Amino acid sequence: MPAETFEFQVEARQLLQMMIHSIYSNKDVFLRELISNSSDALDKLRLETLRDDQLDVDASDLHIAIDADRETRTLTVRDNGIGMTHDEVVELIGTIANSGTAKFVQELREAKDSSASEELIGQFGVGFYSSFMVADEVTLLTRRAGEETGTRWQSDGEGTYTVETVDDAPQGTSVTLRLKPEDTEDKLFDYTSPWKIREIVKRYSDFITWPIRMAAATGEEGAEDPGTETVNSMKALWARSKDSVTAEEYSELYKHISHDWTEPLETIRMQAEGTFEYQALLFLPSHAPQDLFMQDHKRGVQLYVKRVFIMDDCEALMPTYLRFVKGVVDAQDLSLNVSREILQQDRQIEMMRRRLVKKVLSTVKDMRSSDPEKYGTFWKEFGRVLKEGLLQDFENRDAILEICSFASTQDEEGLTTLRSYVERMKEGQEQIFYMTGESRAAMESSPHMEAFRAKGFEVLLLTDPVDEVWVQSVPEFDGKQLQSIAKGEVDLDTDEEKKEVEAEREKQQQEYAGLLTWMTEQLGEHVKEVRLSSRLTVSPACIVSDTHDVTPALENMYRAMGQEVPHVKRILELNPSHALISGLKKAHAAGAGEQGATAELAETAELVHGLALLSDGGELSDPSRFSRLMADRLERTL
Ligand SMILES: Nc1ncnc2c1ncn2[C@@H]1O[C@H](COP(=O)(O)OP(=O)(O)OP(=O)(O)O)[C@@H](O)[C@H]1O
């Protein structure tokens, strides 16, 4: 069959262009990426032979081989792993399946300087395509285990690639690079040099559990096959003693399993002995991946059984709110045939997961006290996800609350913890006050804040969408109730102050009773009640939710998720010390009974309600009517 020519998908083409023009300064990593792919392919083949004893493959000598040819300036990385079918080649190599690629490519194009692009590439990792940093032509020859024919893929990275069926391909995959001319100034080294290759393998891929072989340096002894040597030590890092592993080695393992090119933020090691023995090596990344909030985001922990890779994204080992944690868990006493379903029900796995979760949370807690800057990075990247745990993980709710940070009126820039909020609470203050909203600025100028500011009470400012949800289900922290400042009645007065204002309040209640009843009736379609406020000092009115009602933001969120929720009416609070409100009261008392005056007054009530809604960031039910009434009033002031 003749070779077919295909075009790269748009994003793939753009990415390739960037690779060819080589925006990443450390080009050595292309070899790490090819080895990493080969290692995954060998893992997959081993698993398949374990699960399918009919599979006709020779899996007795699984390995990776690197051949360099100085004459032709080619470098080949070969494995006898799972290989790919014709369709897989087109699908996996011609397109980039990773969700978020389009956004990433756009950011990359917009990145102003090379260090910004480098950082982006690092965050994304571009796997196989990184070959084009060092090669002007790449040929991939592959045959899927169990298939008769193989596939050859070839491209110069310039927009198209060819694919053809070949009869004599060995099982597995080989990738041959026609290397660009050496240019050490541009960090393009001589990748046919055995010395250089050995150095790269040792540095980036030493822990790979499959042998990486290359032609033996002349005269070298101890090679298992005369003429070849194994370059990597193949030692699983999690099985080595803690002090014998360097930070760089951990970092390379992290990059292999996470497909991230940047350094991990934190490395966590755990070991359990006894009846159920396992070792865990976990990493907290230093940045959130693009697809962290996408539906299909996978969890990042791999399961090994006695050093044998069993599965990626082992959901039984990490809850979804810790989906950003990467790493390896190696259990001694599981069957190599263990399935996802069995893992979900296994009691020991459940215990292991609980210990892993506690360890991750305690690591973050320690990080906060020992290295606040690092914790700051962690929180900025993953705080939003971690807070999902407040809804999912009842057992660890307190531990999660302990490591959360929030913006607060107490500090204009930094964040605070609940614990330090509690330490700063005023004498007699019983509750932790918070407000939820879209932005700090909007909350700070909200009428709800007035009395709290006037009386010097600290308010936490919660801006993440998830905050709307978890505050509904977390009643307290450290025995102190969490209280929204936009819900229910507010009572900030001390007993003494209460005594002082009690008489005044009662008087106001009586004076305003008529207006309040009338307004509740007038606005009954929109509000549940109109009442006097003790939270306003400057604004004439504000809108609040009843203590146990769903907030409008949450109502909108449920609707966006396709859930039917009834519209909840809210409460309009009036500020009796505002001239507009006392004027309204007077006009109401004077004009009671007169028809013309009542109609005018009803419009004023409507306008007051509209103003309160607007200052809360809410939507008017009839905006054009509101602006007509408002324009009419303004006209009369001229
Ligand atoms: N040597 C190989 N053997 C078998 N399949 C391979 C091999 N190399 C690549 N593949 C397949 O092609 C896919 C794409 O590889 P590529 O390196 O571009 O991305 P990746 O490894 O999935 O992720 P990343 O881009 O983050 O490195 C792999 O997921 C794998 O399915």
Q: How many residues does the chain have?
A: 638
pLDDT (0 to 100) of residue 592 = 62
Query: Does residue 219 come out as left (phi exceeding 0), alpha (psi in the -120 to 50 range) or beta?
Result: left
What pLDDT, on a 0 to 100 scale, did the predictor assign at position 268?
97
Distances (CA, A) of 447 to 432, 523, 536, 574: 19, 20, 6, 11
Contact 325/284 with Cβ under 8 angstroms?
Answer: yes
Residue 12 CB less than 6 A away from ligand 1: no
Atom of ligand 1 nearest to the CA of 44: 4
Among 172, 170, 131, CA closest to 154: 131
3-state secondary structure 163-215: EEEECCCCCEEEEEEEECCCEHHHCECCCCCHHHHHHHHHHHHCCCCCCEEEE
Q: What is the CB neighbour count within 10 angstroms for residue 567?
A: 10
Q: Which residues of the chain have pLDDT under 50?
A: none
Say if ligand 1 is within 6 A of residue 41 CB.
yes
Give CA–CA dist 553/606, Å, rounded: 23
Ligand 1 pocket check for 289: Cβ under 6 Å: no
ipTM above 0.90, yes or no: yes
Q: State the DSSP string of 293-343.
A: TSTTPPPEEEEEETTEEEESS-TTTS-GGGTT-EEEEEESSS-TT--HHHH
Grouping H, G, I as helix, E, B as strand and the rest as coil, residue 638 is coil
505 vs 49: CA distance, rounded Å:
81
d(C-alpha 423, C-alpha 391), whole Å: 25
Q: Which residues of 238-261 are buried (b: 16+ CB within 10 A; e: fewer)?
A: beeeeeebeeebbbbbbbbbbbbb
Tens of pLDDT, residue by residue over 231-254, are: 998 888 998 888 899 999 999 999
Residues 301-347 pLDDT 10s: 999 888 888 888 888 999 999 999 999 999 988 877 788 888 888 88
> Which atom belonging to ligand 1 lies closest to the Cα atom of 37?
8
Mean pLDDT of all residues belonging to the chain? 89
Nearest protein CA to atom 14 of ligand 1, as residue: 92
Cβ–Cβ < 8 Å for 315, 376: no
Cβ of 37 less than 6 Å from ligand 1: yes
Q: Is the CB of 327 under 6 A from ligand 1?
A: no
pTM of the model: 0.80
